């Protein structure tokens, strides 16, 4: 008899955790498991990549009203006689405005948001909150399951989250999964009493799929007519990704006479700030925010250098993908970077600063022998992690 699995995630917008889930769903044996996917929002470029065997649960009406504009949402609830819902919508908005830390605001406003979400009637053998915060809270509060799992994709200590708030949820989980040894250590430091619950399951990446998709033909506008070095970064446009540092590093490269074109694939709330910074530094022809790309791999393949300028990460899927495509890599030395890059063997680890990024890129630009060394060493690495799916199955059997 098939076992029933549930995955919960806010949406399938472009992001590392979202991509990781899509990759995981592609590896599940659907002859053995029935899989449901609960999305708060039925949106995102990755939505159409969900296997047809996965049943996507319908969006709930109260939540749909809750996520409308404040005035429209409150008026709608009041007209329907749902005064408590209107109050929760007001408190949700108030907390998100007052609390400047986005991670904490999502935590503290959960009780208000959860009033718009009904519990699921179906019972599951395993329910997984596949992203930190709301996904995990939903599984704890709204799902009936024999086993419950919270999946954390970030370095908890660097995330800005309130561990006291999370403890009340985490102690109700059967297992806490994270994506690297460094992330595991971070969770242990914050939740010492729960260390026996923590498991590491790496993000699933498939070299065959990535290499096949990378062969798609694309057009890359280059005002320097291919006389420049093409640098690429795949990242959400948010503070933790360090794109402001990348822009400043690019400025230093141009000032020092290097002809570079730096492309960023991704979208996010920091776009307007980054666009202003690019314009202020006169880099509109050299540093380009390309937006989300459904298939980023041809862009990575056609680049000369991959740069990850993050301030912190859980485990960067983009770095793994750049490694699979054998790109010379410069990455900031965030805590989990050492899990993926061996300094001067398959890439460069640099300080989390504009000077660190500038120096690392400059070194690769001036040293073809080093670039070739990285390319050769990466070509010899075993980079697929498809076998990690067996660890998911083990969660059911433990």
Selection from 238, 239, 213, 230 nearest residue 293 by Cα: 213
Residues in the chain: 398
Strand partners, 136: none
At 219 the pLDDT is 67
Three-state DSSP class for residue 133: coil
Q: How many CB atoms lie within 10 A of CB 192?
A: 8
Tens of pLDDT along the chain (398 residues) come to 899 999 999 998 877 888 889 889 989 999 999 999 999 988 877 888 899 999 999 778 899 999 999 999 999 999 999 999 999 999 999 999 998 888 899 999 999 999 999 999 999 999 999 999 999 999 999 999 999 999 999 889 888 899 999 999 999 999 999 998 889 999 999 999 999 999 999 988 888 888 988 998 876 655 444 568 999 999 999 999 999 999 999 999 999 999 999 999 999 889 999 999 999 999 999 999 999 888 899 999 999 999 999 998 878 889 999 999 999 999 999 988 998 999 999 999 999 999 999 999 999 999 999 999 999 999 999 887 888 899 999 988 76
Query: Which pLDDT does position 308 carry in this prediction?
Result: 97
**Sheet with strand 260-265: strands edge to edge:** 287-291, 260-265, 229-234, 305-308, 329-332, 348-350
Q: Which two tokens stand for residue 374?
A: 């990285």
DSSP 347: B
- Domains, the chain, ranges and CATH? 3-60+117-205+387-397 (3.40.50.2000), 208-379 (3.40.50.2000)
357: phi then psi, degrees, rounded to nearest 5:
-65, -45
Residue 308: closest CA among 234, 248, 258:
234
Global confidence as pTM: 0.81
pLDDT at 220: 61
């Amino acid at each position: 008899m098939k076992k029933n699995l549930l995955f919960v995630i806010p949406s399938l917008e472009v992001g590392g955790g979202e991509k990781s889930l899509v990759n995981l769903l592609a590896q599940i044996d659907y002859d053995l498991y029935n899989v449901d996917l609960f999305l708060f929002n039925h949106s995102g470029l990755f939505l159409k990549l969900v296997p047809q065997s996965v049943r996507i649960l319908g969006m709930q009406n109260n939540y749909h009203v809750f996520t409308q504009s404040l005035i429209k949402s409150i008026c709608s609830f009041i007209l329907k006689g749902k005064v408590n819902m209107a109050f929760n919508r007001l408190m949700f908005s108030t907390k998100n405005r007052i609390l400047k830390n986005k991670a904490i605001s999502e935590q503290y406003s959960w009780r208000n948001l959860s009033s718009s979400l009904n519990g699921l009637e179906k019972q599951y053998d395993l329910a997984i909150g596949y992203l930190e915060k709301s996904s995990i809270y939903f599984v704890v509060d709204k799902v009936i399951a024999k086993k419950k799992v919270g999946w954390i994709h970030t370095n908890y200590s660097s995330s800005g989250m309130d561990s006291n708030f999370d403890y009340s949820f985490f102690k109700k989980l059967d297992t806490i999964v994270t994506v690297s040894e460094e992330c595991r250590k971070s969770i242990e430091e914050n939740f010492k009493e729960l260390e026996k619950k923590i498991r590491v399951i790496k993000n699933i990446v498939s070299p065959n799929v990535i290499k096949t998709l990378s062969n798609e033909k694309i057009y890359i506008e280059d005002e320097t007519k291919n006389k420049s070095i093409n640098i690429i970064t795949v990242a959400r446009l948010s503070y933790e990704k360090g794109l402001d540092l990348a822009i400043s590093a690019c400025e230093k490269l141009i000032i020092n006479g290097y002809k570079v074109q730096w492309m960023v694939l991704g979208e996010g709330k920091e776009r307007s700030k980054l666009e202003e910074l690019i314009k202020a530094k006169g880099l509109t022809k050299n540093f380009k925010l390309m937006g989300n790309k459904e298939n980023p791999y041809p862009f990575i393949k056609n680049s000369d250098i991959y740069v990850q300028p993050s301030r912190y990460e859980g485990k960067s899927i983009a770095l793994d993908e750049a490694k699979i495509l054998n790109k010379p890599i410069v990455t900031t030395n965030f805590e989990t970077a050492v899990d993926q890059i061996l300094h001067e063997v398959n890439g460069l680890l640099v300080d989390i600063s504009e000077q660190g990024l500038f120096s690392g890129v400059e070194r690769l630009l001036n040293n073809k022998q080093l670039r070739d060394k990285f390319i050769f060493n990466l070509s010899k690495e075993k980079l697929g992690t498809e076998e990690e799916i067996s660890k998911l199955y083990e969660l059911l059997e433990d």
